[in-house]
C-alpha cells in the first residue's frame, strides 16, 4: 500500500527531526517557510488529495492524514504560525489523543493515536475506606462490532461531505483574516466513505455501545480520592488503540466523622451537667463498635474543647497503624431551669455577679432585654 509507506516515512521523519531546528510543518506540506497562506492551503489540499481514494474505500492511512492536518492547523493560523516560526513547538504533533473521530482532542503524552479515556466518578461511604470493601461500577463503552469487525458494512463508496461541500475546509475570520479551518466532519477529505450494504448489527456505526461492570477494591485507609485505571478498557474504535477507563473513587461526606488523611474528627454534644461533673460518653465508630470513655468528675469540660483519642482514627493504608480520633465537645445548655434548681445552683456555684463594676454614687437605669427577632432598624436622623 502506497499510503502505508507514506505513513511510515512520515513517522520516521517525525522521530528523527529535532523538535526546534527542523521546519517539520513546512516539510510535511512540502512548502517553503516563506509560503503565503494561499500556497499553504493549496499544498495541504494537494497532500490530502493524494490520500483520498484509499481513505474513501477504508484502506487509507488516517495517521498520515492527521499529520498533514496538524501541520496545516499550525501554519494556517497566523498567530500559531508566527509562534511556530519563533521556535514554539506544537505539542499536537507529538501528543495526540484521538476521540470521537474528530481532529483535535485534549493532549496527553501519547506516541500513538488512541481513543479518549473514559473517566467516571464513584462515590462510596467513608465506612468502605475504613473497612476496605470491594465495589463495582457499570459503564458503557464502544466495542467493535463482531459482525462487520469494525468495517460498518460492505461495498464501500464515497459521497460528498455535506458539512464543507467537498471543500475540506470551513471558513472563519480570525484576527480580521479569513482562515480556512479543517472540516471536522470529514477531517479535510471533503468526502465521506459510506457503505452500500450497511452492517445490520451496528447499523454502520462500526461499534456497539456495550455495558460492562468494572470492579474496584477499596483498601483499608486508602487515600481520598483514589484513581483506578483500567488499561485498554475504554472505547474501541477501528484502526486506533483503545484508551483507558479511569474510575475516581471518593468518599461521601460522613454525617458524624470528618477525615483528614489518617485522622478523624467528630463533635460530641454533652449536657451541662456532664460538662460540670463528668460522666461516661459512648460513641459509635465506623465499624459499628462502640467506644466508651469517661469525662473525669471535678474537671469542667468547656464547650469547644478538643481532645484526642489516640490510634482510633483511620487505619493507615497498607500499614498496621491507625491515625487519631479528635473529639470536639459541645455543651448543650438547658432551655429553662425551675426555681428549685435555681436555688440549688446558687448554693453550689455561689451568687451571681454583675458583669460591670458599679461604684457608689453611680446612676443606675434598669432596662429590659428583648429578642432580636422583629426588631426594626431605626432610620437615620436627617436633620442637622
Q: Which residues bind Zn ion (CB under 5 A)?
A: 145, 147-148, 161, 163-164, 183, 185-186, 199, 201-202
Task: Supply the minimum distance, in Å, between the C-beta of residue 200 and Zn ion.
Answer: 8
Nearer to Zn ion, 149 or 332 (CB): 149
Nearer to Zn ion, 128 or 142 (CB): 142
| Residues facing 315 on adjacent strands | 322
Task: Supply the minimum distance, in Å, between the C-beta of residue 199 and Zn ion.
Answer: 3
**Given the DSSP bridges, would you call strands 207-218 and 133-144 parallel, antiparallel or unpaired?**
antiparallel
**Given the DSSP bridges, would you call strands 258-260 and 263-271 parallel, antiparallel or unpaired?**
antiparallel
Whether the CA torsion 335, 339, 341, 344 is positive or negative: it is positive
Would you call 111 exposed, middle or buried from its count of C-beta atoms within 10 A (0-12, 13-18, 19+)?
A: exposed
CA max distance for the chain = 112
Cα–Cα distance between 163 and 182 in angstroms, integer?
11
Cα–Cα distance between 303 and 292 in angstroms, integer?
20
Nine-digit cell string for 336 = 429553662
Nearer to Zn ion, 180 or 312 (CB): 180
Helix axes 62-76, 2-16, angle to 10 degrees: 50
Task: Supply the minimum distance, in Å, between the C-beta of residue 35 and Zn ion.
Answer: 24
Neighbour tally for 72: CB within 10 Å: 27
Nearer to Zn ion, 164 or 218 (CB): 164
Cα–Cα distance between 225 and 207 in angstroms, integer?
32
Task: Supply the minimum distance, in Å, between the C-beta of residue 48 and Zn ion.
Answer: 11
Nearer to Zn ion, 152 or 313 (CB): 152
Contact 246, 233 (CB under 8 A): no
Helix ranges (DSSP H) in 185-338: 272-277
Nearer to Zn ion, 145 or 222 (CB): 145
Nearer to Zn ion, 123 or 162 (CB): 162
Would you call 382 exposed, middle or buried from its count of C-beta atoms within 10 A (0-12, 13-18, 19+)?
A: exposed
Task: Supply the minimum distance, in Å, between the C-beta of residue 325 and Zn ion.
Answer: 57
C-alpha to C-alpha distances, 30 to 9, 103, 143, 164, 194, nearest whole angstrom: 14, 21, 38, 24, 31
Cα–Cα distance between 191 and 55 in angstroms, integer?
9
Contact 276, 300 (CB under 8 A): yes
Nearer to Zn ion, 74 or 183 (CB): 183
Cα–Cα distance between 14 and 18 in angstroms, integer?
8
Task: Supply the minimum distance, in Å, between the C-beta of residue 65 and Zn ion.
Answer: 12
Task: Supply the minimum distance, in Å, between the C-beta of residue 3 and Zn ion.
Answer: 20
Task: Supply the minimum distance, in Å, between the C-beta of residue 51 and Zn ion.
Answer: 14
Nearer to Zn ion, 39 or 167 (CB): 167
Task: Supply the minimum distance, in Å, between the C-beta of residue 64 and Zn ion.
Answer: 18
Amino acid at each position: 500500500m502506497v499510503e502505508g509507506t507514506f505513513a511510515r516515512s512520515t513517522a520516521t521523519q517525525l522521530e528523527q527531526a529535532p523538535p526546534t531546528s527542523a521546519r517539520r510543518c513546512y516539510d510535511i506540506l512540502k512548502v517553503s517557510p516563506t509560503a503565503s497562506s494561499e500556497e499553504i492551503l493549496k499544498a495541504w489540499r494537494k497532500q490530502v488529495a493524494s490520500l483520498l481514494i484509499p481513505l474513501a474505500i477504508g484502506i487509507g492511512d488516517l495517521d498520515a492524514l492527521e499529520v498533514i492536518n496538524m501541520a496545516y492547523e499550525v501554519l494556517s493560523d497566523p498567530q500559531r504560525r508566527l509562534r511556530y516560526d519563533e521556535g514554539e513547538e506544537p505539542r499536537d504533533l507529538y501528543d495526540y489523543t484521538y476521540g470521537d473521530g474528530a481532529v483535535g482532542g485534549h493532549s496527553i503524552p501519547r506516541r500513538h493515536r488512541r481513543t479518549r479515556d473514559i473517566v467516571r466518578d464513584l462515590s462510596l461511604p467513608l465506612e468502605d475506606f475504613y473497612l476496605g470493601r470491594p465495589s463495582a461500577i457499570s459503564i458503557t463503552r464502544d466495542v467493535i462490532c463482531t459482525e462487520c469487525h469494525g468495517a460498518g458494512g460492505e461495498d464501500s463508496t464515497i459521497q460528498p461531505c455535506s458539512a464543507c461541500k467537498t471543500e475540506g475546509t470551513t471558513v472563519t475570520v480570525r484576527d480580521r483574516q479569513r482562515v480556512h479551518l479543517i472540516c471536522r466532519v470529514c477531517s479535510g477529505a471533503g468526502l465521506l466513505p459510506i457503505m452500500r450494504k450497511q452492517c445490520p448489527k451496528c447499523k454502520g456505526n462500526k461499534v456497539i455501545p456495550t455495558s460492562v461492570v468494572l470492579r474496584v477494591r477499596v483498601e483499608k485507609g486508602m487515600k481520598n480520592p483514589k484513581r483506578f485505571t483500567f488499561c485498554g478498557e475504554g472505547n474501541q474504535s477501528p484502526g486506533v488503540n483503545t484508551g483507558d477507563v479511569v474510575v475516581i473513587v471518593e468518599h461521601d461526606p460522613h454525617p458524624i466523622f470528618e477525615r483528614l488523611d489518617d485522622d478523624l474528627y467528630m463533635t460530641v454534644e454533652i449536657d451541662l451537667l456532664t460538662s460540670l461533673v463528668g460522666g461516661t460518653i459512648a460513641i459509635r465508630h465506623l465499624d459499628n463498635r462502640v467506644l466508651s470513655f469517661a469525662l473525669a468528675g471535678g474537671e469542667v469540660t468547656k464547650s469547644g474543647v478538643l481532645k484526642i483519642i489516640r490510634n482510633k482514627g483511620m487505619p493507615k493504608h497498607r500499614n498496621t497503624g491507625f491515625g487519631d480520633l479528635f473529639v470536639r465537645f459541645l455543651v448543650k445548655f438547658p432551655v429553662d431551669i425551675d426555681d428549685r434548681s435555681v436555688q440549688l445552683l446558687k448554693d453550689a456555684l455561689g451568687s451571681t455577679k454583675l458583669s460591670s463594676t458599679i461604684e457608689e454614687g453611680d446612676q443606675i437605669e434598669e432596662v429590659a432585654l428583648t429578642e432580636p427577632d422583629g426588631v426594626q432598624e431605626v432610620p437615620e436622623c436627617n436633620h442637622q
